[in-house]
Amino acid sequence: MPPAPPSAPSWTAERSARVLLFTALAVGAALRAWLALTDAGIYWPDEIYQSLEPAHRLVWGRGLVAWEFASGARPWTLPALVALPFSVLRLLGVSSPSTYVPAVKLLFAAVGVATAWAVARLARALGAAPLPAAAAGALWALAAPAIYFSTRGLSEPLSAFPVTVGLLLAWPEDVSRRKRLLGAALLGAAVLLRLQDAVLCVGLLVALVGRGQRRAALDVLAVFTLAALALGALDWATWGRPFQSALENLRFNVVEGGGSLWGTSEPSYYLRVLWRSMPEVTAVLLLAGALALRRAPGLCALVVAFLVLHSLVPHKELRFILPVLPAWAALAGVGLDSASRFLSARKPALTHLGVALAVLAAAVSAAGFHRLTFGDLGAYETLKPQASAYQDFADVNRLLTLAGTLPDLCGLKVEAVHMAWAGGYTYFHKDARLYSHLGPPRASGKYNYVLSVERAVPQGSVRAALGPYVLAKLSSAPCVEDAAFSWRLP
């Protein structure tokens, strides 16, 4: 006898879930795409100098070298991944930063949307019904910080995708061996993007051993061992020493406490900044996440452990916890499912109240994403907390792009800002020397253009102006040679 067709209520719930998730993903994709195509600003120098700039150096042979890539404190995983689309674009004849930078940012944005889809799938794998699971996906698709960070070349939001899919495939007790191995491989790949994601790998092993799944734990341990060997081999090939990036990172951040040079914060920093940047979504994460504790205690413990460990580190940035926030959103989906079941048994008319409130919270967050300030994101809290988090130093980068098109330019000095907050050769893209504000004096003749402010350049020398910055020509004479030119980022 053929199986009976699904009942109308069940079919309606499935269709509603699909419509909700598709709509949230579409809106989230549109907002991310708009951001990728319009925002040339910089949140933090890492989004240039730990991804785009070293990738530009790989593909086009020019790029400033940050200290991490001079001392070997970072693996080449992320720059190598970015170099792939750069290489394709170069083969297609694309050589303008106004094209290849937004193109790569669109790829980053697509990873962010895929992460939101994975959140919904993870919630389903944890036992949530379709509609609460779709609401969980909507939380990550539309949360303001998730949108903001998705287009930036940072390892944290990008590693959130393999982390979430890895947990989806490897965490549930009843998955096939093949899926668990694939999930473990993705978690291992996440560690190659961000070493701190190893905490999640350890958490998976602890969970498997705690469940008595020793064979599965051994399988996963073998995959993690291969991932570790891959990291060692990558560092050996690129830095000349196995595990150079891990050892140097450990020395700088743990032994020497070097991260504190960029500021320290109180243990409650992450909760405070989450509430400030997305209060409605954070309320859902806290309340619905607590309701998931009974049904998914292991994953709840893993998320809490990740957050606590990061809270104990003196130097904190919101982006550091982005890899685990999608899993928290999936747990919120489980909590929303528990709330729906409770209400269905007592007040059927209110069955989906929790889901509706969660979707409303996500929508409110998305509607205000363009109003995020640096203070909302926990950055520059003592310098410019009220400043918009968008288009910061964008005028500098646009002038760099323009400078790269000038046929008579043989050298450029960026005087107006520290080079770390400018786009480097990623935006300059010219076979010419690029100097920081610490470079040689104007009288040296080693460059013939400066990026400065109008009051600091000769009258009549300005070739372009954007905001407070100007691109000015100093001389028509050819630039003299500079044997001491350094590619190091100061």
Q: Among 127, 136, 179, 189, which residue's Cα sits nearest to residue 158? A: 189
Q: Is a pLDDT exceeding 80 seen at residue 8? A: no
Give the model's pLDDT for residue 11: 59
Is residue 7 scored above 50 in pLDDT? no
Residue 12 pLDDT > 90, yes or no?
Answer: no
Task: Give buried/exposed letters for 413-432 (b at 16+ CB in 10 A, else e).
Answer: bbbbbebbbbbbbbbbbbeb
Could you report the per-residue pLDDT of 259-305, keeping only the tens digit for each? 777 788 999 999 999 999 999 999 999 999 999 999 999 999 999 99
Predicted pLDDT at 10: 54
216-224 CB contacts, 8 Å cutoff, 24+ apart: 216/177, 216/180, 219/177, 219/180, 219/181, 219/184, 220/170, 220/180, 220/181, 220/184, 223/181, 223/184, 223/185, 223/188, 224/184, 224/187, 224/188
Is residue 402 scored above 80 in pLDDT? yes
The domain ranges of the chain are 8-371, 394-473
Yes or no: say if 57 and 76 are a contact pair by the CB < 8 Å rule.
no
Q: In degrees rounded to 5, what are phi and psi of residue 474?
A: -95, -35
The arithmetic mean of pLDDT across residues 412-436, rounded, is: 97
> Which tens digit of pLDDT belongs to each residue from 212-271?
999 999 999 999 999 999 999 999 999 999 999 999 988 888 777 777 777 889 999 999
Backbone angles phi, psi at 465, to 5 degrees: -140, 140
Whole-structure pTM value: 0.94
Choose between 249 and 91: higher pLDDT. Answer: 91
Mean pLDDT of the chain: 95
Q: How far is Cα 63 from Cα 59, in angstroms, rounded to an integer? A: 10
Name the packing angle between helices 77-91 and 97-125 (round to 10°). 130
Determine how β-strand 411-414 pairs with β-strand 433-435: parallel
- In the predicted structure, residue 364 carries a pLDDT above the cut 60: yes
Confidence of residue 1 (pLDDT cuts 50, 70, 90): very low
Express each pLDDT in 170-226 by its tens digit.
Answer: 999 999 999 999 999 999 999 999 999 999 999 999 999 999 999 999 999 999 999
Written as one string, the DSSP assignment of 275-335 is HHH-HHHHHHHHHHHHHTTTT-HHHHHHHHHHHHHHHHSSS--GGGGTTTHHHHHHHHHHH
